[in-house]
């Protein structure tokens, strides 16, 4: 936000400066050697107000005449309406002693962020008049095809997901091994390199092993998958739908939630084919 | 007709009804107070004594008809088995006493521990056919067997801690007085008073649950109306959650708290098993209800009792688990099958055990065929067959029914064959029972092939309907005998139903032990267009093998199709000429028909002019046999590729181990990739390819074996080096995905280490493993990856000075990566445990492997911690395995003592048993090796346990007998000599020393020679290779030895151990090999072979034999052919001499004539020699290693 307002101010500043120069030039022409800052500002303010007024008024006339863009006549009318004589204005403009203000440097146009374009724009149908604006991107009114990621992308994403997962696991186990008792694999005193978290007996010992927590499964989902989805293997379309649905909540693995959301899109593009060959 | 004495008619009374009432069941004190009342019907008027079974119970009062108190005596011979010979320490003597003790209390011999005298004034109560009630009050405290209390430590009430109890085994006498015989069925009334929060599950129908007046306890009343025998009565009490089967409401499942969800999943398909059996046997399920109780700390996965089974809670699994599903489903189906045979119909004598075990196995086999498919079934049968054959060859032929000798033919007395009595189930080795069960199954399956499945099922059906009729009658009808089944009854029933007399079959396979062994060779005769087959049974004199006479099916696959020929085997050598159907015409392109009727294209370029593609013997496994088929490699390859039978494929894979070459590699690769092939075959092919690739390493070009296959199958589409996200929906692929990495990890490059490429590949698998989209848990897969990492580890090549401590810095780069991975996943398991902690189990094994190979210091602290009570059972067992192995390597007495303490007193009976078995499997020292651990204290400790301490746990006792046998053999252990012998030994000692002086001089000379020889040697070669390769191979493929030897270098220690066993067998035969070694040993004694006190000849542990290298070059690979010739000659020449040698070998060198010329001793010695050979892994080191070395 702040950035954009700044830009607006900059633009205003530039215009104001030009006006300032213009006023100063006229003053010089008239014979002043110096001017107070305040008076200069006042004069600038005045001329700005004047120009604004002329512009507004000219637009009024233009619109009144049913046009979109003002023409010279509109400006003349505005000036006349304000009681300003147009007499000699041409001569004045062409006076020999006039100073020419350097045109302001073209401010680099701030780049408007390019629209996210997806797909190729459709050609307008023949019945649509040519002057109407072009059709928007197809995703705005048909659907969004996600594009097949380039080959290297998949690899990178898998790589990233794997690294993230590993980092999280490593951090977790490292933390735990620092904060709990450890076994040492070596005969040395310090146990920094390959510490093994000591095992603690649990009672009853079978519970954690039979009800594992390493992965969270939605058992109803699985039930559905094996009981219903698996029975209709001969209907690949169905199956595809299934597997797509389940992709969203088919159980999240360890702490790698972040990485998952990233990987989600990538493999889907090619997965249906592979699912078929795999299933 | 003389009535034979059987289990059901030997007692002078019949049991009509029994009441069992347990009231004071206390979990805190682990005690039970109870009362039984047996209603017996005397068969004679003058019944003076009644003998019942009761063990570890305290009997307070015995009362007849509630009025007359009777005197009783209690005598349990198991409390001191060798009472009359307390000083004996030999297993031979023990076995006799052991059997005597078992028979002294065997109800089937009208015996028992509890001896009740009918008092004079109550004599009038006894009358033939009049019921007599015997009431017995008893209590039981901290039972050591038969009943188990699981009371977890920690805070909370008993219910919160899921404390529970259950009975285990089939020995009812351990928890209540009874007639502990399978042949004495009766009706039951069972009452159990338990805490209000607990549930008592027992046999029969639940009639009522009544609260006690104070409302703090309740009594469960069960009644069994179908006659059941005491060993089939069971009880489980605990805070169970109950789940009524939604498909069959007469089936109820019980599990411990919090497990209901996975219980529901586990028992999902149980009703299908019921339906299957009812349909197959066309009989209704014989009982009105069925209960499954899942409890902790059981000894077996499933034990079946009347109307209920007690199963291990570790069978439970969620829907996301793959591997466990197969095991659990089979175990439950097995238990249901046992309801029909084993519970409803029981055995008449111990000798009929094979029927009680075999029939349910057979039925369960039919079910699993339906459930898991024909391939799985055949593969399973094949595995069982091999297992049984291996056991028999090691220990002797198993006679399924040893009571009655076969009608014709001499029989080896079974007593002489085994080191334990096989005539009573309480004295049998648990392993024997296991194998016997498998053999029973196989024999029943053979019977099915003889008479047809339908007829066999009709026989079962007839037995069941007879029994069902009998079960509905009262005892007075005298029909309860129909509930029993014996071998004779069975044969008679078969005859009645089918009209076929199976007596010969039974004589041949049930009443005679052992199996047949055929070796087949074939030559194609081009002129006559015949195949000349020669089938030999050479080994008939060997242990566990006997001569077979009868038909034998030979199946030839020719170009024109499959042809079966039945040959009559009448002799040890049978020759047959079989005319080929097809002319040699392989130039014509035509499809080849297979036995299944399919027609396939084959690439016939590998063949020579014989039209035979492959030969199989007894393809349907209709005999108990092992086959050794000699055919050229391309025939094996054709068999692997094109034969549709999984057993044939499996045999082909076994054979192809010996034919490394590009063609074999191609065949195996194609098999792995072929989606049509059964997955277990594909997995085996992968492992075989590992061996083949290692054998042809010098010719190998391109990426490591299987890498391409794996990437093709599992690599992601755009980046093949990254594995896809896991999707285990295709189970075949799942198993391959698990297996291939392990197989690849076995690859070795030319330096004998795992190629770095493979290690990187495995680490990548870890890294990119992503299970987020999978429907299944990947715990077994991850465990397999850890296993694979462990398999890559090879003995360390250390740059450190020997003796320097191993630190984290001294590890090699690869090892560091591996260790980092292992520690990471192991630590992660602490926070996020996976199903059954499979990863931890694999990690422990991997750590041990790192220690074995010298990458980590060999310290057992980690394993000790994981072996503690309170860890998950699988983890504990894995840790114990590591500890046992640790003891056998490091040999410290206190470690062994700690393990024995576990065997004696671990809270979980299953762990006690398993540790004892682990000790037997990896004994702490070799028999007679004069190991430091081989002390008399150990002998006494084991003996004491066997003899008296374990009186209440027959299984553990027999486990220890197994261990004792492994350590000491049948005779008195050497370390506890008889006093008189000890005195003589002192004299011997002196002479021995003199002899050693002389020997040493000679040895110095030998060393000189050895040093020269070693310079010629280029590579370290394991000497053992020669010995290990079966003779058969040498005859066929001489040059193979060269390639084979170096690549086998990094054989893991365990493998070498196994090989030792093989050697043992070979060494007894007449091959010249052992003789060389014997002589060698005699001549060259390593200089640290300490002069031994006594025992001439067995010169103690010799790690390294100076002569071995010299001989290696003589026999070496380049002259393999010559060697063969030499050997043959040698054999003939020295045959006589050799056999003489065996008899009185010591004289030429040993001065003492004291040495007993027993063959057993001889065998021990050769074994010892070989084991020391095998332990010298790297012959380049010039030290003699005395024990198993650590690398």
Most trustworthy range by pLDDT among B510-519, B1046-1055, B1094-1103, B1121-1130: B510-519
Q: For residues B796 and B259, which has the higher predicted lDDT (pLDDT)? A: B259
CB nearest B722 (choices: A155, A225, A275): A155
Q: Sign of dihedral through CA atoms B228, B234, B235, B240?
A: negative
Contact list, B856 vs chain A (CB under 8 Å): 185-186
Chain A residues touching B772 at Cβ < 8 A: 250-253, 256, 260, 263
Task: Kindly state the tokens that stand for B557.
Answer: 């696959």
Of A122-126, B160-164, B236-240, which range is least confident?
A122-126
The predicted structure's pLDDT at residue A230: 59
Query: What's the pLDDT score for residue A191?
Result: 67
pLDDT score, position A90: 85
* Pairing of the two strands B346-347 and B484-485: parallel
Residues of B whose CB is below 8 A from A215: 320, 771, 777-778, 834
Residue B238 banded pLDDT, cuts 50, 70, 90: very high
What is the H or E stretch that residue B1076 is in? helix B1072-1083
- Give pLDDT, residue B297: 92
Question: If we measure between CA atoms, which residue out of B144, B305, B176, B288 comes closest to residue B234?
Answer: B305
- CA B1147 and chain centroid, separation: 42
**Which residue in A has a C-alpha nearest to residue B715's C-alpha?**
A274
What residues pair up with B563 in beta bridges, in sequence order? B556
- Asked if A97 contacts A29 with a C-beta cutoff of 8 angstroms, the reply is yes
DSSP state of B345: B
CA distance A166 to chain B (A): 7
Q: Is beta strand B205-211 parallel, antiparallel or unpaired with respect to B132-141? A: unpaired
State the number of CA atoms in the 13 A half-sphere of B503 facing the CB.
Answer: 11
Asked whether B615 and B636 are in contact (CB, 8 A), the reply is: no
Q: End-to-end CA distance of chain A, in Å?
A: 52
Helix (H) or strand (E) holding B61: strand B57-64
- By Cβ distance, the residue of A154, A204, A211 closest to B152 is A204
What tens digit of pLDDT does each residue of B800-821 get? 566 667 777 778 888 899 999 9
Torsion sign over Cα B692, B694, B699, B703: positive
Range with lowest mean pLDDT among B108-122, B332-346, B1114-1128: B1114-1128
Q: State how far the Cα of B871 lies from the Cα of A203, in Å rounded to an integer.
A: 8
Query: How does pLDDT run across B604-627, given as a tens digit for each residue?
Result: 777 777 788 899 999 999 999 999
For residue B767, list chain A residues with Cβ-Cβ distance below 8 A: 162, 166
DSSP secondary structure string for all residues of B383-423: HHHHHHHHHHHHH-PPPS--SS--SSS----HHHHSSS-SS
Q: Which residues contact B1072 (CB under 8 A, 6 or more apart)?
A: B1127, B1130, B1131, B1134, B1138
The reply to whether residue B719 touches residue A177, judged by beta carbons under 8 angstroms, is no
The tokens 């110096």 sit on which residue? A34
Please provide the DSSP assignment of B745-772 as one string. HT---TTSS--HHHHHHHHHHHHH---T
DSSP-assigned letter for residue A135: P
CA distances from B574 to B518, B520, B550, B565 (A): 10, 10, 12, 14
**What pLDDT was estimated at residue A2?**
47
Q: Do A203 and B827 touch (CB under 8 A)?
A: no
For residue A90, how many other CB atoms are within 10 A of its CB? 8
**Nearest C-alpha of chain B: how many angstroms from A185?**
7
Would you tell me how many other CB atoms lie within 10 Å of the CB of residue B72?
20
Separation in Å, CA of A235 to nearest CA in chain B: 15
> Using a CB-CB distance cutoff of 8 angstroms, which residues of chain A are in contact with residue B154?
203
Reported residue count of chain B is 1191
Cβ contacts from A onto B, under 8 A: 203
pLDDT number for residue B310: 96
In sequence order, the 6+-apart residues with CB closer than 8 A to the CB of B722 are A155, A158, A159, B715, B716, B764, B768
Q: Find chain B residues with C-beta within 8 A of A219's C-beta.
A: 261, 265, 318-320
Residue B1177, both tokens: 């892994």
pTM of this structure: 0.74
Contact B730 A253 (CB under 8 A): no
- Provide mean pLDDT across the span B529-536: 90
- pLDDT bin (cut points 50, 70, 90) of residue B309 is very high
A154 and B716 within 8 Å at the Cβ level: the answer is yes
Angle, vertex CA B503, rays to CA B502 and CA B508, nearest 5: 100
Give A273→chain B minimum CA distance, Å. 10
**8 Å CB contact of B775 and A213:** no
Q: What is the pLDDT of residue B580?
A: 84
Q: What local confidence, expressed as pLDDT, does residue A85 receive?
A: 85
pLDDT per position as a tens digit, B105-154: 988 888 899 999 988 888 888 887 788 999 999 999 999 889 999 998 88
Instruction: Judge contact between B860 and A189, C-beta under 8 A.
Output: no
Mean pLDDT in residue range B1080-1096: 39
Average per-residue pLDDT in chain B? 82
Is B167's pLDDT higher than 60?
yes
Shortest distance, CA B238 to any CA of chain A (angstroms): 13
CA distances from A15 to A22, A43, A218, B73, B329 (A): 11, 15, 65, 123, 86
What's B355's DSSP letter?
H
Closest CA to B488 of B510, B464, B468: B510
Contact criterion met (CB below 8 Å) for B659 and B642:
no
Considering all CA atoms of chain B, what is the largest pairwise distance in Å, rounded to the nearest integer?
A: 99
> pLDDT value at position B779?
93
What is the percent of chain B where pLDDT is above 90? Answer: 51
Question: What is the per-residue pLDDT across A28-55, written as a single tens digit (0 to 9) for each?
Answer: 888 888 888 899 999 999 999 999 999 9
Q: For position B3, what pLDDT does the model report?
A: 53
In the numeric block, which tokens belong to residue B61? 């009062």
Pair A138, A116: CB distance under 8 Å = no
CA torsion sign, B719 to B720 to B721 to B723?
A: positive
State the virtual CA torsion across B984, B988, B989, B990 in degrees, nearest 10.
120
The SS3 assignment for A5 reads helix
Helix (H) / strand (E) element for B1029: namely: none
Residue B1039 above 50 pLDDT? no
**Lowest mean pLDDT, pick from A264-278, B267-281, B1076-1090:** A264-278
pLDDT in tens, A170-213: 898 888 888 888 888 887 777 677 888 888 888 888 999 999 98
* pLDDT of the residue at B1073: 41
pLDDT score of B607: 77
CB B723 within 8 A of CB B714: yes
Res. A248: pLDDT tops 60? no
**Residue whose token pair is 């063949």:** B607
Contact B350, B401 (CB under 8 A): no
Q: Which of B160, B257, B717 to mutate to test the interface with A (most CBs of A within 10 A)?
A: B717
Within a 10 A sphere around the Cβ of B788, how many other Cβ atoms? 27
Flag whether the ipTM exceeds 0.85.
no
Q: Which chain B residues touch A160 with a CB distance below 8 Å?
A: none
- Choice between B412 and B60, residue whose per-residue pLDDT is larger: B60
Nearest 10 degrees: Cα torsion B705, B708, B709, B711: 130
Asked if B773's CB is within 8 angstroms of A250's CB, the reply is yes
Chain B residues closer than 8 Å to A185 by CB? 819, 823, 847, 856-857, 859, 862
For B868, the closest chain A residue by CA position comes to A201
A175 has a chain B CB within 8 A of its CB: no
Say yes or no to pLDDT of B211 above 90. Answer: yes
Q: Which residues contact B85 (CB under 8 A, 6 or more apart)?
A: B93, B97
Give the residue-averaged pLDDT of B559-582: 87
Nearest to A198, CA basis, from B809, B868, B785, B890: B868
Q: Residues near B420 by Cβ (< 8 Å), separated by ≥ 6?
A: B95, B98, B427, B428, B429, B432, B958, B961, B962, B965
Polymer length in residues for chain A: 279
Q: How far is A145 from chain B (nearest CA, A)?
A: 20
Residue B473 DSSP label: S
Any B CB within 8 A of A169 CB: yes
DSSP character string of A234-252: T-HHHHHHHHHHHHHHS--
pLDDT for A216 equals 83
Among A229, A263, A236, residue whose Cα is nearest residue A248: A263
Do B497 and B455 form a contact (C-beta atoms < 8 A)?
yes
Q: What residues contact residue A180 under an 8 Å CB cut-off, 6+ apart?
A: A197, A198
Give the burial class of B388: count Cβ atoms within 10 A of its Cβ; 0-12 exposed, 13-18 middle, 19 or more buried: buried
| CA gap B240, B43 in Å, rounded | 43
Comparing CA positions, the residue from B680, B605, B591, B599 lying closest to residue B637 is B605
- Inter-chain CB proximity B806 and A187 less than 8 Å: yes
Residue in chain B nearest A229 by alpha carbon: B729
pLDDT confidence bin for A225, thresholds 50/70/90: confident
In terms of DSSP H, where are the helices of chain A?
Answer: 2-30, 37-64, 72-81, 89-93, 138-141, 151-179, 206-210, 219-227, 236-249, 257-268, 271-278
* pLDDT of B1187 strictly over 70: no
* In the block, residue with structure tokens 């010299």: B1110
Is A253 close to B870, i.e. CB distance below 8 A? no
Q: What is the pLDDT of residues B738-763, one digit of tens each?
A: 999 999 999 998 888 899 999 999 99
B314/A210 Cβ within 8 A = yes
- Which conformational region is residue B930 in: left (phi greater than 0), alpha (psi within -120 to 50 degrees), or beta? left
pLDDT digits (tens, 9 = 90+) for B391-403: 999 988 888 888 7
Question: In B, which residues are within 8 Å of A186 by CB distance?
Answer: 805-808, 856-857
Phi, psi of B306 (to 5 degrees): -55, 120
């Amino acid at each position: 936000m702040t950035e954009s307002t700044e830009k607006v101010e900059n633009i205003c500043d530039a215009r104001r400066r030009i006006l300032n120069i213009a006023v100063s030039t006229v003053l010089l022409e008239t014979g002043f050697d110096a001017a107070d800052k305040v008076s200069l500002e006042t004069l600038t303010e005045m001329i700005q107000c004047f120009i604004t007024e002329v512009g507004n008024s000219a637009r009024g006339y233009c619109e009144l005449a049913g046009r979109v863009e003002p023409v010279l006549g509109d400006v003349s009318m505005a000036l006349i309406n304000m009681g300003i004589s147009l007499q000699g204005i041409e001569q004045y403009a062409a006076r020999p002693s006039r100073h020419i203000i350097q045109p302001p440097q073209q401010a680099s146009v701030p780049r408007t962020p390019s629209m996210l374009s997806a797909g190729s724009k459709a050609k307008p149908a023949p019945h649509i008049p040519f002057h109407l604006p072009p059709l928007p991107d197809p995703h705005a009114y048909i659907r969004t095809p996600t594009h097949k990621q380039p080959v290297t992308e998949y690899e990178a994403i898998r790589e990233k997901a794997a690294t993230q997962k590993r980092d999280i696991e490593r951090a977790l186990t490292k933390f735990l091994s620092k904060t709990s008792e450890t076994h040492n694999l070596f005969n040395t005193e310090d146990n920094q390199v390959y510490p093994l978290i000591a095992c603690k007996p649990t009672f009853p010992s079978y519970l954690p092993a039979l009800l594992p927590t390493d992965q969270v499964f939605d058992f109803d989902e699985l039930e559905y998958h094996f009981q219903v989805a698996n029975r209709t293997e001969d209907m690949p379309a169905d199956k595809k739908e299934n597997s797509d649905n389940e992709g969203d909540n088919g159980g999240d693995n360890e702490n790698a939630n972040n990485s998952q959301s990233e990987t989600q899109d990538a493999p889907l593009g090619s997965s249906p084919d592979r699912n078929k060959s795999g299933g | 007709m003389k009535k034979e004495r059987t289990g059901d008619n030997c007692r002078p009374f019949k049991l009509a009804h029994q009441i069992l009432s347990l009231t004071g069941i206390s979990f805190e004190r682990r005690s039970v107070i109870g009362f039984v009342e047996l209603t017996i019907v005397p068969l004679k008027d003058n019944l003076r004594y009644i003998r019942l079974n009761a063990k570890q119970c305290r009997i307070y009062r015995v009362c007849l008809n509630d009025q007359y108190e009777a005197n009783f005596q209690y005598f349990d011979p198991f409390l001191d088995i060798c009472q009359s010979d307390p000083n004996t320490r030999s297993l031979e003597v023990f076995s006799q006493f052991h059997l005597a003790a078992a028979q002294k209390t065997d109800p089937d011999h009208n015996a028992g521990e509890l001896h009740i005298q009918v008092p004079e004034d109550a004599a009038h109560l006894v009358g033939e056919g009049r019921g007599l009630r015997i009431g017995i009050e008893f209590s039981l405290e901290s039972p050591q067997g038969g009943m188990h209390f699981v009371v977890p430590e920690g805070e909370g009430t008993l219910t919160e801690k899921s404390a529970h109890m259950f009975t285990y085994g089939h020995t009812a006498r351990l928890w209540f007085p009874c007639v502990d015989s399978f042949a004495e069925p009766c009706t039951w009334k069972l009452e159990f008073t338990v805490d209000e929060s607990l549930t008592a599950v027992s046999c029969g129908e639940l009639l009522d649950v009544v609260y006690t007046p104070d409302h703090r306890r309740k009594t469960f009343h069960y009644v069994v109306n179908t006659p059941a025998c005491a060993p089939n009565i069971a009880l489980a009490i605990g805070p169970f959650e109950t789940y009524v089967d939604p498909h069959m409401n007469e089936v109820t499942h019980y599990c411990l708290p919090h497990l209901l969800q996975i219980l529901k999943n586990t028992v999902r398909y149980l009703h299908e098993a019921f339906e299957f059996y009812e349909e197959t046997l066309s009989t209704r399920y014989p009982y009105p209800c069925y209960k499954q109780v899942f409890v902790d700390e059981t000894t077996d996965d499933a034990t079946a009792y009347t109307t209920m089974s007690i199963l291990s809670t570790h069978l439970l699994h969620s829907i996301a688990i793959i591997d466990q599903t197969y095991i659990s489903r089979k175990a439950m189906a097995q238990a249901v099958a046992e309801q029909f045979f084993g519970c409803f119909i029981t055995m008449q004598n111990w000798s009929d055990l094979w029927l009680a075990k075999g029939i349910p196995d057979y039925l369960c086999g039919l079910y699993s065929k339906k459930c898991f498919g024909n391939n799985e079934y055949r593969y399973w049968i094949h595995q069982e067959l091999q297992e049984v054959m291996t056991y028999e060859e090691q220990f002797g032929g198993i006679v399924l029914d040893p009571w009655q000798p076969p009608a014709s033919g001499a029989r080896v007395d079974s007593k002489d064959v085994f080191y334990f009595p096989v005539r009573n189930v309480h004295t049998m080795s648990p392993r024997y029972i296991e194998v016997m069960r498998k053999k029973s199954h196989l024999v029943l399956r053979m019977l099915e092939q003889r008479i047809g499945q339908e007829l066999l099922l009709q026989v079962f059906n007839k037995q069941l309907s007879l029994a069902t009729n009998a079960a509905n009658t009262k005892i007075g009808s005298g029909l309860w005998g129909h509930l029993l089944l014996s071998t004779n009854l069975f044969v008679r029933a078969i005859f009645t139903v089918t009209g076929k007399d199976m007596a010969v079959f039974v004589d041949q396979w049930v009443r005679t032990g052992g199996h047949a062994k055929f070796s087949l060779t074939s030559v194609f005769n081009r002129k006559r267009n015949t195949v000349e087959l020669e089938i030999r049974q050479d080994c008939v004199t060997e242990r566990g093998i006997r001569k077979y006479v009868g038909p034998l099916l030979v199946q030839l696959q020719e170009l024109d199709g499959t042809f079966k020929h039945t040959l009559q085997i009448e002799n040890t050598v049978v020759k047959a000429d079989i005319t080929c159907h097809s002319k040699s015409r392989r130039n014509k392109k035509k499809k080849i028909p297979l036995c299944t009727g399919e027609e396939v294209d084959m690439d016939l370029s590998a063949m020579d002019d014989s039209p035979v593609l492959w030969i199989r013997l007894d393809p349907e496994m209709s005999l108990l046999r092992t086959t050794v088929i000699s055919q050229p490699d391309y025939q094996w390859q054709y068999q692997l590729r094109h034969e549709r039978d999984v057993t044939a494929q499996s045999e082909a894979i076994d054979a192809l181990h010996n034919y490394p070459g590009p063609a074999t590699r191609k065949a195996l690769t194609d098999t792995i990739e072929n989606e049509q092939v059964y997955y277990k075959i594909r997995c085996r092919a992968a492992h075989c390819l590992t061996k083949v690739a290692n054998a042809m390493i010098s010719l190998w070009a391109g990426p490591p074996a299987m890498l391409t296959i794996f990437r093709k199958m599992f690599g992601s589409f755009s980046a093949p080096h990254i594995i896809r996200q896991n999707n285990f929906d295709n189970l075949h692929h799942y198993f391959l995905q698990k297996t291939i990495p392990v197989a690849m990890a076995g690859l070795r490059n030319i330096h004998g280490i795992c190629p770095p490429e493979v290690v990187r590949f495995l680490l990548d698998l870890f890294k990119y493993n992503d299970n987020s989209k999978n429907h299944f848990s990947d715990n077994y897969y991850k465990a397999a990856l850890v296993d694979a990492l462990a398999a890559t580890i090879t003995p360390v090549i250390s740059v450190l000075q020997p003796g320097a401590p191993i630190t984290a810095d001294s590890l090699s780069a690869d090892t560091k990566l591996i260790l980092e991975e292992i520690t990471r996943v192991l630590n992660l398991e602490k926070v996020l445990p996976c199903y059954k902690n499979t990863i931890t189990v694999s990690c422990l094994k991997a750590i041990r492997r790192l220690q074995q190979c010298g990458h980590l210091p060999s310290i057992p602290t980690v394993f000790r911690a994981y072996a503690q009570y309170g860890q998950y059972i699988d983890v504990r067992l894995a840790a114990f395995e590591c500890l046992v192995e640790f003891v056998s390597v490091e040999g410290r007495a206190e470690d062994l003592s700690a393990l024995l303490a576990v065997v004696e007193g671990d809270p979980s009976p299953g762990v006690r048993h398993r540790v004892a078995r682990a000790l037997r499997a990896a004994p702490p020292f070799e028999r007679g090796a004069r190991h430091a651990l081989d002390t008399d204290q150990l002998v006494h400790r084991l003996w004491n346990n066997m003899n008296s301490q374990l009186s209440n746990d027959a299984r553990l006792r027999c486990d220890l007998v197994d261990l004792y046998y492994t350590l000491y053999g049948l005779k008195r252990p050497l370390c506890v000599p008889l006093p008189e012998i000890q005195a003589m030994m002192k004299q011997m000692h002196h002479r021995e020393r003199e002899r050693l002086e002389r020997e040493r001089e000679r040895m110095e000379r030998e060393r000189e020679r050895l040093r020269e020889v070693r310079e010629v040697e280029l590579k370290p070669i394991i000497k053992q290779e020669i010995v290990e390769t079966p003779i058969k191979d040498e005859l066929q493929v001489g040059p193979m030895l060269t390639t084979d030897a170096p690549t086998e270098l990094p054989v893991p220690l365990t493998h070498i151990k196994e090989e030792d066993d093989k050697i043992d067998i070979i060494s007894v035969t007449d091959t010249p090999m052992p003789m060389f070694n014997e002589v060698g040993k005699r001549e060259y004694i390593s200089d640290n072979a300490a002069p031994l006190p006594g025992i001439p000849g067995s010169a103690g542990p010799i790690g390294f034999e100076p002569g071995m290298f010299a001989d290696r070059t003589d026999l070496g690979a380049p002259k393999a052919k010559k060697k063969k010739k030499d050997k043959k000659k040698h054999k003939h020449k020295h045959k006589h001499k050799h056999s003489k040698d065996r008899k009185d070998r010591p004289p030429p060198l040993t001065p003492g004539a004291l040495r007993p010329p027993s063959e057993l001793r001889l065998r021990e010695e050769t074994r010892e020699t070989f084991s020391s050979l095998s332990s010298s892994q790297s012959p380049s080191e010039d030290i003699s290693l005395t024990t198993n070395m650590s690398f």
